Amino acid sequence: MIYGYCRVSTDMQECSAEAQQRMLKEYAARAGVELAAVYVDEDVSGSIPLKDRPQGKLMWDALAPGDTVVITTKDRAFRSLIDAAATLMRWREYGVKLHIIDFPVDLSTDEGEMVFLQGAVFSQYERKQIARRIRVGISHRKKSGMPYCYTRPWGWVRSGDRWTHCPKERLLGDRVLAMRKEGKSWYAIASHFMNEKKPIVRKKASPYYHQCDIRSLAAAAEAGYPKIPQAAWLRRDTAQKLSEAISPGSPIST
């Protein structure tokens, strides 16, 4: 049997599931064969080995000696040299063939295998270069105080390519600090704002603040609202110091 496989991790039209399935059907029509099934993994990263993906595993389990797997491009099935090499070796030993539409090389031969693995080496190197460029870009944005991820830091809102103050959320942070100084627990503060029904600012999609939101907002307010997400600056020892400053004797994790 002949099986088709697609993977989609972005909403780019040229990589869409529909586009890949159309290419597979066109290939089958030209070759005069019929696809027994087409397996599609949506919103799945290529870093996950093929046999560990939801649909990839189903296809892997359905394969039998003599079957053929058809993919549009090698990066739709493999992003790791190790995964590509291991899968190709296992399939060759098991009698399963692999055909890549944009890679017109017979992978069942030793020469074809060599060319395929060389291509996988260059692809892996290219991915590492892309990752390095992304890290450099993020580092520059961090140092410049510019937004560099989708996580919004407390007390700030995104305005174009810059962070701007969020007065309403900072006012809420001041209220949290004041209530902590009065001796109120995190649960009591969270319940207080929940009972207001319409909090001043929503941090998340939830219509109210959770206890963990209240704690992190208080820590951000005490630290002066850093322009980077809490996970990057709040550590256990820092949290303890902030807790003692807000309410002596009351750990911030309570």
Report pTM: 0.50
Domains of the chain: 2-130 (3.40.50.1390), 156-246 (no CATH)
At 14 the pLDDT is: 55
Secondary structure of residue 189 in the 3-state scheme? helix
CB neighbours (10 Å) of residue 62?
Answer: 13
Residue of 88, 82, 70 whose CA lies nearest to 127: 82
Structure tokens at 220: 């951000």
At 125 the pLDDT is: 73
Q: Which residues of the chain have pLDDT under 70?
A: 10-15, 127, 141-142, 144-151, 197-208, 228-254
At 39 the pLDDT is: 93
pLDDT in tens, 3-34: 999 988 765 545 688 888 899 999 899 988 88
At 251 the pLDDT is: 38
Q: Which long-range contacts (CB under 8 A, 24 or more apart) does 218-221 make?
A: 218/173, 218/176, 218/177, 218/180, 218/242, 218/246, 218/252, 219/252, 220/153, 220/154, 220/155, 220/173, 221/154, 221/155, 221/170, 221/173, 221/174, 221/176, 221/177
